[in-house]
Structure 1
């Protein structure tokens, strides 16, 4: 079996050759609802299907993209944009989930922007609300770390980057993101539990990537799009198509917000 760090280095070398770009400054992972903004993040330097890059595979979930786009931002930074991610619930283990993060780190990135679509526990956050992730609770019972690898998670999501995001939109709320294993949506009782534990947002991604990013020394900014009220907080049952539609409806605002934030990073 491939060593995950060697595989990430191999993928980074492959991308260096493919794009003829020695190093990148930042990387973005665009989750549900966020991919529509990829074309507004800067001048295109090229694109490749993720499935063609060592260690990556094609997306398996409807509504999730599968390309890596390279752009030069308004601030002159080179950014790698992953329009898809491997989810933990796909059952491939934790290494494929964090492979993009480790590849970006091996390619020279120092900053990582993680985005997702999620359920919201705060009734004031209507579908379409963007929330800065201030902290997380990992309920997957897993980690990308191996052995006695002790990583400080006191500031998993960079306070400095959150303050920069607030210069673009001072009204962005902050919350605690809770990752469940999935792929089933959370039950109303699980949502109540998440709230009791201190959670504001529930979803199926992001925390494992953040742990791997902190291990690699990356500064992390997390952004959640509330696509629906979490189970039990609305009379409606959860529906994947409606989650995708909420992301699509929020697309123009997300694109502008993300472009603004990337411009100051």
Structure 2
């Protein structure tokens, strides 16, 4: 059963072998795909060959059936290796000096770095983009991990339910404020500056006509307490001053999926149906 799909980069058409953008390579658990400027091409949508085939083993002894050839002079001859591991995959960086970045296109800037020489770094993203620095260019190899395994218990456990880590009510004004703060990064701009309080007020006016700087700032302060970034008013300790309060709120919300792209609908509610 295939578990990992690799989409090769779009190399410039004037490069030898360039312009190929429609091929996909499918890997089953345990299969490996070396990639680089001087690895043998692997047939798209093909499984690893028989273990007795001359091409069935890479120089390090792994099975692979050829590899993904990236025809760019800035890519190492043996740049790296992708290994399918069931519901996830690992990346080996065989370069001696380049750091590779693996981005989560759906994660509002979420990424991991795989340093030179690092082997079998696990990648947890369902949709991933390996970014390879190549002589002034940035080449992208997409890797998809669509297989999902879930726990299926025949019956629930007895006893009290587990309290949620973060309890938010998506019908409340504080959630609309949080969604407005997160919106730029959820819209595909992972490094976008956060909106000012005035911009948040303007963004909320269609659903909250009486929004003001004071009310929005009050909700930001409330969120800092509710999400445990600051101690509550019932404690004598006010805690250290929280610099970058908005940045901390957005980072926490995006990291734990408290606000998703679907939640931005609260910012576009029809007139007369404003959030409470």
User: Which structure carries more relative contact order (alpha carbon 8 Å, separation 6+)?
Assistant: 1
TM-score normalised by structure 1 residue count: 0.26
Bigger CA radius of gyration: 2
As a proportion of its length, which structure holds more helix? Answer: 1
